[in-house]
Structure 1
Amino acid sequence: MADSKLKIDIRRNKILERLRETGVVRVTELSRELGVTPVTVRTDLASLEQDGYLDRVQGGAVVKERMTEVQETPAKGTEEKLAIAAETVRQIPDGSTLFINSGTTTRYVATALKQRKGINIVTNSMAVVAELGDVSGIHVILLGGECNAQYGYTYGEDAKAQLGRYRADLAILSVDGVSVEAGITTFHADEAMIDKMMMERSGKTMIVADHSKIGRAGFTCLAQISQGVELVTDGGCDKEKVARLEAQGLRTTVV
């Protein structure tokens, strides 16, 4: 019994080690690498999620924000996202109409938008509504639909139908990965269709992503790298990876 428990602990520690290295783990890959069934892997992930080490998503699991903050001091991570948000808002003129999705960095963008006037926002993020819902000079529409309470966003057919009634000057999206190989990606498949529609129904798309997202790939592709998208990231990014993205036509601002 004790030996069985030890094997479980070793296996779960290996899962956490991989998660810290890559930020994302997939059930199929873990099953192959650890020599266990997908059912066993899912059981391990469920236990680790219950203990607060990770968040499960379709097909695998992602690192919790607080685990990333252990590797990078919280102050540094916050400062980087604040700088990205400030640069993003600097490029937004008063009177703009915006689509904004959910995410930590877009929440910082919402806070920075309080300095703007005459802004109209359509969002599926409850955090954005909480930040800007009662701010004078800013009008916010929250998309209805199904609710992901854990991550604070709405999604589904009702949300898509409502979004289809609007167009925006700019879509501001927080994503989980930007790479030449995988394109612009997210871990949340249920929100992906909302993100895609925001990109399609706006004149321009701005991706706000800190350096940890550059070169990473999530589960669901929103779009390939193209000239119609701009990336705002921080100075901690891998310059070679950024250069490769720019060679594919991605306009990049590093703050």
Structure 2
Amino acid sequence: MPGQKLKIDTRRSRIIEILNRDGQVKVSRLSEELNATPVTIRSDLDALERDGYLERIQGGAVQTAVNYYNREFIQRKRLGANVKKRIAAAAAELIHDGDTILLNSGTTVYFTAVELKRHKNLRIVTNSLTAAIELGSVPSFHVILLGGEINSRDSFTYGNDVLEQLKRYRANYAILSIDGVCAETGISTLHAEEVMVERMMMERANETIIIADSNKLEKEGFLYVCDTQAVDRLVTNREADPSVIKRLREKRIKIILG
């Protein structure tokens, strides 16, 4: 809002709106958009972090995991959608017609499902309700939705029934959306219900592809899934910190930037 300075409460409310929309904010961009000095914006971000609205990172801030996952799936699907679509498109390019794929749940998985519709004759096994519905509309696809207990908020199935069904299948790829990728501490998630599902999908696939935006790099979720070396490829967005990418490549993970 050039030429007009906002009151502190109005400015901070606007920062939260932008953060909810984009999933992350940059000091430089907020300074320009809100007509405030970088020092003022940094002070706002520090205050909002103390109140639990966000987590500070170099040059800006990202949503806290708690705030992110309290959103309904449809709301979260809108957050950082452009970045997720780029990651999804890059992941889909790794797949060939006729492949068998295991998919877990998450908004980036949903966008990957949309991109996979460019292919033909795929066999897809998933515990994601939204991915199954999206992919089930393609006549040449064979889609299997794993039955089990339902997490209605995040639209996925889980439990022993899901694990027993997964044992029946072998796949070319497991494409997994997770909550934390750290070179030293490994792959992690916030969902206790999905840990065993993700591990089983990795076990049943020839290759594991992790899809995660740069906000999840060097982050640790609540629950450990596997060591970093167990992952074959990581697909993330091109804005990722080069030093973080370097550390992950040193773990012999192939990195694709979308």
Q: What range describes the TM-score normalised by the shorter chain of this pair?
A: 0.7 to 0.9
Aligned-pair distance for 1:92? 0.6
User: Aligned runs of 1:82-231 on 2, under 5 Å?
Assistant: 82-226=85-229, 228-231=231-234
1:234 and 2:237 aligned: yes
Q: Tell whether the 8 Å contact from 1:54 to 1:64 is kept in structure 2 after alignment.
A: no
CA distance in 1, matches of 2:52, 2:62: 10
Shift, 1:134, TM fit: 2.2
Q: Deviations over 1:101-160 (max 9, x none)?
A: 001111011001111111000000001011011211111100011100000000000111
Alpha carbons of structure 1 residues 93 and 212: separation in structure 2 relative to 1, 3 Å? same
1:16 aligns with 53
CA 1:238–1:138 in structure 2 vs 1: closer, same or farther (change >3 Å)?
A: same
Contact kept in structure 1, 2:147 and 2:162, CA below 8 Å: yes
Match of 1:49 in 2: none
Aligned to 2:229, the other structure's residue is in SS state: coil
Q: Is the 8 A contact 1:206 1:231 kept in 2?
A: yes
User: Shift of the alpha carbon at 1:23?
Assistant: 2.3
Paired with 1:186 and 1:110, the residues of 2 have a C-alpha distance of: 20
Shift in CA distance, 242/65, structure 1 to aligned 2, threshold 3 Å: farther
**In 2: Cα distance, 1:237 partner to 1:18 partner:** 17
CA–CA separation in structure 1 for the residues paired with 2:135 and 2:205: 21
Residue 29 of structure 1 corresponds to none
Q: Is this contact kept in 2: 1:184–1:223, CA < 8 A?
A: yes
8 A contact 1:24–1:63 mirrored in 2: no
Q: 1:151 to 1:209 in 2, by over 3 A?
A: same
- 1:15 counterpart letter in structure 2: G
| Unmatched runs of 5 consecutive residues or more in structure 1 | 1-9, 26-52, 57-61
Which secondary structure does the structure 2 equivalent of 1:82 belong to? helix
Amino acid in structure 2 at the alignment position of 1:160? L
TM-score norm. by structure 1 comes to 0.74
Note the C-alpha offset of 1:16: 3.1
Matched, 1:253 2:247: no
Aligned residues: 208
**Residue 22 of structure 1, CA deviation:** 6.6
Deviation at 1:15, TM superposition (A): 3.1
Q: Does the CA contact (< 8 Å) of 1:227 and 1:251 recur in 2?
A: no
Per the TM alignment, residue 183 of structure 1 is displaced from its structure 2 partner at its CA by 0.7
CA separation of 1:166/1:105 partners in 2, compared to 1, >3 Å: closer, same or farther?
same
1:5 counterpart residue number:
none
Equivalent pair of 1:23/1:63 in contact (CA under 8 Å)? no
Q: Deviations over 1:23-42 (max 9, x none)?
A: 236xxxxxxxxxxxxxxxxx
User: SS of the residue aligned with 2:125?
Assistant: strand
Give the deviation of 1:18 after TM superposition.
Answer: 5.0
TM-score (norm 2): 0.73
Aligned-pair distance for 1:54?
A: 5.6
Q: CA deviation at 1:66?
A: 6.0
What do the CA deviations read for 1:4-29 (whole angstroms, capped 9, x no partner)?
xxxxxx9x96333559657236xxxx
